[in-house]
Amino acid sequence: MRFKIYRYNPETDKEPWMQEYRLDDIRPGMMLLDALLAIKEKDPTLGFRRSCKEGVCGSDGMNINGTNGLACITLLSDLKEPVEIRPLPRLPVIRDLIVDMEPFYKQYRDVKPYLTVKDPLPEVELKQSPDDRDKLDGLYECILCGCCTTSCPSFWWNPDKFLGPAALLQAARFIMDTRDQATGERLDALDDPFKLFRCHTIMNCVQVCPKGLNPTRAIGEIKKIMVKKSL
């Protein structure tokens, strides 16, 4: 099977380039990460992140044949040859397929992804009814791989101002949480032409999310809550 992989070492390369590799020992059920590990055995200079190999840690997000995804849960048999692998788009490349996730994490921090409780905290845990807990389904499962945000054209156009689907999904997760007492502040912080309203429901985020989440719907829910609050 043939692969074309983005290579860039800022210490030695003036510009990025594509390197071709060939793997002959392709077994049924083999994932793209298995292939990358096999390639790395041949060429230890190739750099990429990976950890759990099970689609849980979100480390191996990359652009595979033009679509973002996790290498560890992408079947080689589903890919067209040559498999073209590039780093996640619009993030600074540190080396080869390794990108600087800091701009992405900054967006995440900007939405204050933690419960804010103003009342004195109870002696026991903050309780929530099963119905209220159900509202968080489809929001809390995000693994922060960055596939959605880096596939979003609004993020490509305004990466420093638009918060991106992953951070907005987290914003929705805490806005929906009945235990949180900073809903008003959270909504006010998003009422800006860029942070939330650059989303044009392009839905690339939904298409690429390896966990099957729907950030576009979450963004729509935030808008609905904003409208209700403003009326």
Alpha carbon of residue 24 to chain centroid: 32
Task: Cis check for the bond before 82: say yes or no (omega within 30 of 0).
Answer: yes
| 192 binds another protein per the rule CB under 8 A | yes
Query: Which helix (H) or strand (E) is 106 found in, with range?
Result: helix 102-110
| 204 binds another protein per the rule CB under 8 A | no
Among candidate residues 185, 166, 57, 58, the one with its CA nearest the CA of residue 115 = 185
| 197 binds another protein per the rule CB under 8 A | yes
Contacts of 174 (CB under 8 A, 6+ apart): 111, 112, 113, 114, 115, 116, 180, 182, 186
| 202 binds another protein per the rule CB under 8 A | no
| 157 binds another protein per the rule CB under 8 A | yes
Closer residue to another protein, CB minimum distance, 121 or 227: 227
Tell the smallest beta-carbon distance from residue 186 to another protein (Å): 13
Count of residues touching another protein (by CB under 8 A): 18
Closer residue to another protein, CB minimum distance, 90 or 195: 195
| 228 binds another protein per the rule CB under 8 A | no
Among 19, 65, 116, 158, which residue sits at the site for another protein (rule: CB under 8 A)? Answer: 158
Half-sphere exposure of 70 toward its Cβ, with a 13 Å CA cutoff? 20
| 191 binds another protein per the rule CB under 8 A | yes
Interacting stretch for another protein, rule CB under 8 A, among 25-33, 38-46, 66-74, 184-192?
A: 184-192
- Count Cβ atoms within 10 A of the Cβ of residue 221 and give its class: 0-12 exposed, 13-18 middle, 19 or more buried: middle
Task: Using DSSP bridges, classify how beta strands 61-64 and 17-22 pair: parallel, antiparallel or unpaired.
Answer: unpaired
Interacting stretch for another protein, rule CB under 8 A, among 14-22, 59-67, 174-182, 219-227?
A: 219-227
Beta partners for 154? none
Closer residue to another protein, CB minimum distance, 86 or 198: 198
| 224 binds another protein per the rule CB under 8 A | no
Closer residue to another protein, CB minimum distance, 118 or 228: 228
CB 196 within 8 A of CB 219: yes
User: Which amino acid appears at position 6 of this protein?
Assistant: Y
- Count Cβ atoms within 10 A of the Cβ of residue 147 and give its class: 0-12 exposed, 13-18 middle, 19 or more buried: buried
| 184 binds another protein per the rule CB under 8 A | no
| 154 binds another protein per the rule CB under 8 A | yes
Among 29, 118, 125, 230, which residue sits at the site for another protein (rule: CB under 8 A)? Answer: 230
Where does this chain bind another protein (CB under 8 A)?
154, 157-158, 161, 190-198, 200, 223, 226-227, 230
